[in-house]
Amino acid sequence: MASTDEIALDIPNFMRVYKDGRIERLTGTDVVPPSLDPTTGVSSKDIDIIPELGVSVRLYLPKLTATSTKLPVLVYYHGGGFVIESPFSPTYHNYLNSLVAEANVIAVSVHYRRAPEHFLPAAYDDSWAALQWTVSHADGGPEAWLRDHGDFTRVFVAGDSAGGNIVHDMVMRAGSCELGHGVKIYGAILIHPFFWGEEAIGNEMKNPAAKGIIDAIWKYVCPSTVGLDDPLINPISGMAPSLSRLGCGRVIVCVAEKDSLKDRGWVYYHTLASSGWEGTVEILETEGEDHVFHMFNPGSEKAVEMLKRLAAFLNR
């Protein structure tokens, strides 16, 4: 019989999986409560939307200048490889406070089920359910912040890393089925999206160790996958539907020069631009930075520049 301490999968500084099924999340486990942020004036609160599944959201409302103010609605999906982090971590709570204040939007930060307790596609299904819950407030709904202040002609979805992957799934779903309540997704923000593939491309060929780690993460979080060219992780593979079906009108893809995922972001951008899709797509590459640098060093000059660029996208 295997010892309970035998390791099946070890991703340094990320997670450790034991052969008896236990998992250690090595980062992204801290949480902070909702608050009135003294620096930005942004208020937040937590709401259970599917209690039986543990799906919830953290809502953010900027400081209002008038009670009748209508604001864009941003649904945000956190990163963490579908395994770690949550909307309640200090990293994401602080980032959403800053983004909401800078862009003057209402934000809905989604707590979806994570692996290994719930393997994919649970996170995608939860994310879609949270998006539907959000847009249901176009016709009223239980949550006053959304009901009274949301402009549902300007609904955006955004996310980083695994959350950027989720954003792609959301806009593809929106292209083939109705969100409901007459609401359409206006725009999408994919920040350093977690896209991958069987064959290495670009700088991936220079770092086979990193490719092996990313390969392993995907196969772990999605045991039902058809492989690394599964459309869920490789949206431009031969198995994937055309990006021309994307269900929104505007997209921005953010990549970072030193990020192992950078080349996939560029391929996604070029493929979308040439797909026949009728929307507009732009790309932002940050030189000299690595994966989700803006989360780890939010006060840096380049992180602030990126924040302002995204705020402008949300208000254009």
The identity of residue 117, as a single letter, is E
| Alpha-carbon span 253 to 138, nearest angstrom | 27
Paired sense of beta strands 106-111 and 185-191, if any? unpaired
Which of the residues 161, 169, 192, 237 is marked catalytic?
A: 161
| Alpha-carbon span 19 to 7, nearest angstrom | 6
| Alpha-carbon span 306 to 297, nearest angstrom | 12
Which of the residues 37, 125, 169, 259 is marked catalytic?
A: 259
In the residue annotation, 126 being an active-site residue is answered as no
Which of 50, 57, 283 has the alpha carbon at shortest distance from 189? Answer: 283
Which of the residues 93, 137, 291, 294 is marked catalytic?
A: 291
In the residue annotation, 111 being an active-site residue is answered as no
- The three-state secondary structure class of 196 is coil
- The three-state secondary structure class of 169 is helix
In the residue annotation, 259 being an active-site residue is answered as yes
DSSP character at residue 217? H
Contact of 300 with 293, CB cutoff 8 Å = yes
| Alpha-carbon span 109 to 104, nearest angstrom | 15
Contact of 76 with 108, CB cutoff 8 Å = yes
| Alpha-carbon span 206 to 185, nearest angstrom | 38
Beta strands in 62-183 (DSSP E): 71-77, 106-111, 150-160
Could you tell me the sign of the dihedral formed by the alpha carbons of 179, 184, 190, 195, in that order? positive
| Alpha-carbon span 243 to 237, nearest angstrom | 11
Q: Establish how many alpha carbons lie within 13 A of residue 104's alpha carbon, considering only the half-sphere containing its beta carbon.
A: 10
Which amino acids are annotated catalytic?
A: 161, 259, 291
